[in-house]
Chain A
Amino acid sequence: MKWLYIALVLIAGCVRPVPGPAPPPVPPVPIVEPITPAPLTVVVVKDNASLGQLPSSQVAALMSENIRGYCQTHCKFGSDGKTPEYRSYQWATDVSLQSEGVRAAFKTAVDDAKGSRVPWLVVNNGKTGFSGPYPATEAEVLTILQRYGGA
């Protein structure tokens, strides 16, 4: 048994591993500029008629008091100095009387949604922002808002 063990060790030592395919090159890690939180413009665009088909958590997130409260303290104010730039509109709303920031965010939603009628969220802090389908939960929305607007 001892000789068999020694023979196996010797054979194993003679076997060279077959070289496999080269590992894929590691992509360079992009340098991510840290986001500097700044006052936000937040626009939600939705289709009122189909809201009843959304999950309950998403409907609650669309109307959430916590999100409204966050926007009250982290959004830019309108020309009256007290109304935050946080809007929730139908897709076919005429926003021509709104501020430049709200108009731009609304246009971003319309352009990015490409005809989709799922609820859409646009967050803009003046330098960078988010545009995408409205998340399914309040927590996810708050995470996005805090990323661009700070805690």
Chain B
Amino acid sequence: MEIIKIKNLSKTYTKGIFQKRQVRALDGIDLTIRKGELFGILGPNGAGKTTLLNIIMGQIIPEQGYVEIDGYQITKKFPDKLKQKMNMCSGNPNFPWSLTVYEILKFYGMLYGYSGLFLKNKIENLIEIFSLGKYRNVLYDELSTGNKQKLALAKAMINDPEILLLDEPTIGLDPDVARKIRKFIIDLHNRKKITILLTTHYMKEAEEMCERIAFIKQGKIKALGTKEKLKKLTKTKNLEEAFIVFAN
């Protein structure tokens, strides 16, 4: 069953003082994501991966195209009911710097309408899952990069999303922390069968995690399919080599 349907999606940014310079970020994207799928979006810098995720999350309005998520056409209006089912986490996350780990989770939990013992238990559970117990009263500004990323993932899980968008979630992390985060995402996907859209620069990460992959370049989908299909298509042994073929 398809949970995200994207048709002919385009986005152009205008830049410069007089807004005359135009940058085409997405150019006629067609894509469907199945319910419960762990889907990877790969592409070089500036390919349009983050813009695509931001449109799916309702943070950018495209000038053309159609995006339907779980039956809602979000380019017209992004309903709160849908926001309640979705969440996101990006690499190099930003949160209010003078709030502690516990306060950040509490604040975002409250934004989903939770309160009291229900919210408290939810936060405690997330703190335990992400091994943040030692840091519960530490200010965000004082956390290590790895713990900031764990907190970002914990925040992304505060509403038990059915659709999770991960924008380079392991960027800049130590291999050890990155491995733990990858393991968490895979476990989460296997356990809850939630739909996950993942953008990454790391081909091994995509190879290890994603069921299907779209390769984007200059705002267009250059290839789409399973890892095996992409490798076969490029006559390469791994995704890294396939990436180089597509990128050139």
Do these two chains really belong together in a complex?
no
Residues of B within 8 A of A (CB): none
